[in-house]
Amino acid sequence: MIFVTVGTQLPFDRLVKAIDEIVPSLGGEEVICQSLGGKYMPVNMECRHYIGKQEYTRIFAEARIIVAHAGIGSILNAFKSGKHIIIMPRKASFGEHRNDHQTDTASALREYDNIHVAWDETQLSSILLSSDFKDINIPIRNNCSDSICASIKEFLLN
């Protein structure tokens, strides 16, 4: 199962449309899509506006791969659940976000084994269809680094 998510703030029609067009090539694999009610109406898959956190966590755990905007929530959940994630940054020039920080986020995190950056729809299709993403063991990273927690705790208590 492939889980497609655009996050909780803004729709991302370009991503949803790109996946909708790839679905016929996926050999019948289930696609669950969370699209925040964008204007684009998919023809090859169903999309849900918002998925509650409990169900979101379950879907994440069951997914073979995640496809998402380059949002930290999605990326963090991929790290926490040891999943591969293909991220496509939103572009401000398309009205997809207020600025281009997602491009910077994607560039900064692309070196992690489970982060795959698609800079456009063509790359998204290429990456998604090129691998089953089953061959690389991704460690589960949870809990933030001790140093930031220690620093915050120390600052608040002293």
Chain residues binding another protein by CB under 8 A are 7-9, 50, 52-54, 71-77, 79, 98, 101-102, 104-105, 107-108, 141-153, 155-157
Q: How far apart are CA 34 and CA 139, in angstroms?
A: 26
Which residue bears the tokens 């993403």?
Answer: 133
Q: How far apart are CA 41 and CA 117, in angstroms?
A: 25
- At a CB cut-off of 8 Å and minimum separation 6, what does 9 contact? 36, 71
Of the two residues 30 and 55, which places its CB atom closer to another protein in the complex? 55
Strand locations in the chain (E): 2-5, 31-34, 47-48, 65-69, 85-88, 115-117
Of the two residues 32 and 77, which places its CB atom closer to another protein in the complex? 77
Q: In whole angstroms, how close is the CB of 51 to another protein at the nearest point?
A: 9
Of the two residues 64 and 141, which places its CB atom closer to another protein in the complex? 141
Q: In whole angstroms, how close is the CB of 109 to another protein at the nearest point?
A: 8
Q: In whole angstroms, how close is the CB of 43 to another protein at the nearest point?
A: 28
Q: In whole angstroms, how close is the CB of 107 to another protein at the nearest point?
A: 7
